Amino acid sequence: MAKNIDFKSINLNTLPQQSKPVQLGVAGAIIIIILMLAYFFVYSGLNEQLSQLQQEEDTLKQTYTDKSKQAANLDVLKAELNSINGSFDLLLKQLPTQAEIPNLIQELHECATKNGLNMDSVTPKESVNTDSDNQSNSNSEQQVIQTLPYNITLSGNYNQISQFVRDVGKLSRIVTLNTIVLKRNEKDNNLTLNAVANTYKALTNAEINAQTKDNKEKK
């Protein structure tokens, strides 16, 4: 049987004079060391790159899945957008034009008279520009709708005032009642209603352009 090789006692300078088993053993050890170094310096780097590529592949697959779902829902989203635009256009048509404002005031008087109320006063307040999302930004953002507020005062009993409020909600043009204050009249036990009647009108293109120009000048 061949003796165990003691690598510590081998002198590489005299390796050619060593026996074949010694030479083969040294050569095998060198090959093993080279393969180990190759693994750590080459294959380990390749494994890391492969892992990164697999992660990128998973990310791309997820992105593709998400985009596919979005594409599948595109027709539904378009239909919803068309529905929203249609509802918005319908609301705009319910807003009075500037020429219709006097008629709208007349309708408020008629609502009061029909319910036996005395319309004591209808006075316009200072109008403000607004949008349906955020009134606080009226000085910095473009507005497309203008609020036209009127202070109204009328008197009558509770049932008459309640019916008046319901009738205002049924007008052909949008009118809202805000800042409602009811006071009892001690003389005849009737109620006095003080409120702000708001109606709204869509701004014309000229008014929107003037507003945009004014905002730019303020900046």
pLDDT digits (tens, 9 = 90+) for 17-52: 666 676 667 677 778 877 777 777 666 667 777 788
Q: Residue 195: pLDDT band by 50, 70, 90 thresholds?
A: very high
Residue pair 191/161 in contact by the 8 Å Cβ criterion: yes
Q: Residue 192: pLDDT band by 50, 70, 90 thresholds?
A: very high
* pLDDT (average), residues 125-143: 52
Rounded to whole angstroms, the Cα distance separating 143 from 215 reads 11
Residue pair 174/148 in contact by the 8 Å Cβ criterion: no
The reply to whether 160 falls in a domain is: yes
The reply to whether 184 falls in a domain is: yes
As given in the structure block, the two tokens for residue 137 are: 């930004």
Q: Residue 147: pLDDT band by 50, 70, 90 thresholds?
A: confident
> Which range of residues forms the domain containing residue 160?
98-218
Rounded to whole angstroms, the Cα distance separating 66 from 147 reads 43
- Residue 139: per-residue pLDDT: 47
Rounded to whole angstroms, the Cα distance separating 84 from 122 reads 35
CATH number at residue 207: 3.30.70.60
- Bridge partners (DSSP) of residue 132 are none
The reply to whether 3 falls in a domain is: no
Each residue of 90-133: pLDDT tens digit?
776 667 666 667 777 888 888 999 999 988 888 888 755 544 44
The reply to whether 68 falls in a domain is: no
Structurally, the chain folds into a number of domains equal to 1
* Average pLDDT score, the chain: 76
The reply to whether 169 falls in a domain is: yes
